[in-house]
Amino acid sequence: MHKKSAFTLIELLVVIAIIAMLVAILLPVSLKAIEMARRSSCANNLKSLGVAFATYATDHQGAMPHHKPLPPADGTFSETPEFTAIAVMVYTNGYVEDLRLWVCPSDKLDGNSPVAAARDIASFKSQAGSCSYMYVSGYHLMRTVETPALAPMLCDESNSREYGPATPGDMPDITDADNHGANVRNVLFLDGHVVTFRDADAANAIFDNLKNPRVICSVD
């Protein structure tokens, strides 16, 4: 009679070790591929929003949606945060009706709130974490002194609040907790193209080529 063959303990441990090594090799590659796909989806969101905002400007003699006066120095608000108000305005006027466009698929937390697309515009106004992007307000397509290909308009926001004159040095750092990790930020420019910034100061580098950053304002 033939004896039944079976794995010895050593053979089983070797197989487990090989599987663990394969997982350790393949998992980072898989995670990187997933993030690259999410980053591409985020860029497509920004491109779609850029078309909508350009259409708005065409209908308003070249003026992009603009922010209201800046909040008090202590950062408190007595009404809806400004970019939310702008997003609601372009929604109610039919320019951006898909609320999923406002959410980056890599964005997980907005401060301490989980990020998710709003079900409706009422939820969008009241729900934290329904918008993943920062808007640069103050452009006028006909009057701007900026080169459209160098003027940032929409980009991944950071968890730290970005609200105020968008001059280099004023923006908080992009960290591992932000949409695509430290020092990485998708940016939509005024001419409609999107660039993935990878820079040690990605938060501020997007403003480096502006001629007059004092006339614009970052709102998130």
37-82 tens-digit pLDDT = 999 999 999 999 999 999 999 999 999 988 765 545 444 444 445 7
- 14 contact partners, CB below 8 Å, separation of at least 6: none
pTM of full prediction above 0.85: no
Q: Which is nearest to 59 in space by CA: 51, 67, 68? A: 51
Structural domain spans, the chain: 9-219
Identify the pLDDT of residue 79: 46
Other residues' Cβ atoms within 10 Å of the Cβ of residue 129: 18
In this model, does residue 87 exceed pLDDT 80? Answer: yes
Mean pLDDT of all residues in 199-216: 88
Say how far apart CA 131 and CA 148 lie, in whole Å. 24
CB 212 within 8 A of CB 145: yes
